[in-house]
Amino acid sequence: MVITHLVDRFRKCSDEKNYTLIRYDIIVGLKKMYDELKDEEIKQTALQWIESEEDIKYRKKYAAIWSNK
* Distance, CA of 46 to chain centre: 5
Ranges of each domain in the chain? 2-68
- pTM of the full predicted structure? 0.87
Task: Return the amino acid letter for 32.
Answer: K
What average pLDDT does range 24-32 have in this prediction? 95
Helix 2-12, helix 40-52: angle, nearest 10: 0
38: region left, alpha or beta (phi > 0 left; psi from -120 to 50 alpha) = left
Check residue 68 and give its pLDDT. Answer: 62
The CA distance from 33 to 30, in Å, is: 5
- Give the tens place of pLDDT for each residue, 41-69: 999 999 999 999 999 999 999 999 998 65
Query: Between 56-68 and 40-52, two packed helices, what is the crossing angle to 10 degrees?
Result: 160
